[in-house]
């Protein structure tokens, strides 16, 4: 029995991840008010949040620059994924790169389009689809929709810890989406199981540039 071509697996992973990510984001965006929460268990909630920054709500650089950087990064990953598929790299390695690509592209969709096609989400107002140009923002300035919240446990820092002593904390406190999860899983699996493959691939890239 012939194995499924790497190209088919890569395309399936990318398209399935992007579709699942966008379907869930659109549902949350059009059914929940900002910061509204759906209690699943004590350690898992669906909580609607938006951010202008990188994965897990980190905001350290300008929004427009970040969006353009994401687009450039996705173009590079598409090229790289095509290359490793063509060179018949390990299936697991191909899936990892496909997950990273899908996650990056999923968040780009929010940044590029959401500001133009959705009304503002607030604590008292659920967003709606609007005609292009009547949304809460402009092209490339949309906010990324997050929803997964895992407050695994809560506690307080010991009093002897400087600055934070006695303060309450929640672990894990970040709110994220399917795209963030895809990027994180892809990177973690790469580092755990495919470091040699990654190193070899990057070395091959350098050798080709020298030719």
- What is the rounded distance in angstroms from the CA atom of residue 180 to the CA atom of residue 99? 10
Question: Is 146 assigned a catalytic role?
Answer: yes
CB distance 98 to 81 below 8 Å? yes
Candidates 21, 42, 62, 146; catalytic one: 146
Question: Is 110 assigned a catalytic role?
Answer: no
What is residue 57's three-state secondary structure? helix
Between the alpha carbon of residue 111 and those of residues 15, 42, 135, 168, 176, the distances in Å are 18, 31, 13, 33, 15
Which residue is associated with the tokens 């990654």?
198
Write out the catalytic residue numbers.
146, 180
């Amino acid at each position: 029995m012939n194995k499924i071509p790497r190209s088919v697996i890569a395309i399936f992973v990318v398209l399935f991840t992007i579709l699942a990510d966008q379907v869930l984001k659109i549902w949350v965006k059009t059914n929940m008010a900002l910061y509204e929460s759906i209690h699943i268990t004590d350690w898992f909630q669906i909580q609607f949040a938006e951010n202008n920054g990188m994965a897990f709500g980190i905001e350290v650089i300008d929004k427009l620059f970040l969006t353009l950087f994401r687009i450039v990064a996705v173009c590079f990953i598409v090229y790289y994924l095509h290359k490793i598929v063509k060179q018949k790299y390990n299936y697991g390695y191909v899936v990892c790169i496909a997950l990273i690509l899908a996650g990056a592209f999923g968040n780009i969709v929010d940044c590029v389009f959401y500001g133009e096609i959705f009304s503002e989400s607030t604590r008292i107002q659920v967003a709606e689809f609007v005609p292009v140009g009547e949304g809460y923002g402009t092209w490339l300035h949309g906010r990324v929709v997050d929803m997964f919240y895992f407050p695994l446990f809560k506690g307080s820092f010991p009093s002897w810890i400087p600055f934070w002593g006695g303060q309450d904390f929640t672990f894990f406190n970040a709110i994220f989406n399917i795209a963030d999860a895809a990027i994180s899983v892809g990177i973690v699996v790469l580092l755990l199981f495919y470091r040699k493959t990654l190193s070899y691939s990057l070395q091959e890239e350098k050798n080709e540039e020298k030719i």
